Amino acid sequence: MTKALDSSLSQRILWLLLGVGLTVTVFLAYEALHYTRKGHSQRPPVAEGQAKSAVDDQVNSAWVLEGTPRLQTTHFFKTSDGKISAGLWEATGPAKFEWHYGTDETVLVLEGGAKLTYNGTTREVGPGQSIYFPAKAVVVWEVPARIKKTWVLHEPGRVARRLRPLLGG
């Protein structure tokens, strides 16, 4: 009798694994099809130069915690599909504000510094340091005087956005 139960359990586990494998395969095929149907080729997108002078930018007033931050942004380029862009950003304080990230961002601090708080951890950043912020992150920026950074925004994609909460990211 136990052999029959063991065999039945083994078959159920096998069917479960096959079902999970098939589901993941179909999901990935759907994502690939969705990506290519939007007109994306298999070649990397070409960046279009967008050298512009610095423009005044603003922090959402609901995000300002202290002071009156003054921001300036300069865009370097944006890919033709709009998923990657880069430029310079400068904040002048003293000010303390939240920043809500809509896409992934990688930065390199060029001048000045700031104190950043993310997920309960605070760290000071200065020239030569690079930082990565995932989409949906909320970071508190405390700028005592000034910080200037380069930035690259990169859309993580639908699969990454869906899997990150499951993977603790």
Question: pLDDT-derived band of residue 157, with 50, 70 and 90 as boundaries?
Answer: confident
| Nearest-angstrom CA–CA distance, 52 and 40 | 27
- Specify the higher pLDDT residue, 97 or 42: 97
- Specify the higher pLDDT residue, 117 or 134: 117
Question: pLDDT-derived band of residue 15, with 50, 70 and 90 as boundaries?
Answer: confident
User: What pLDDT score does 5 carry?
Assistant: 58
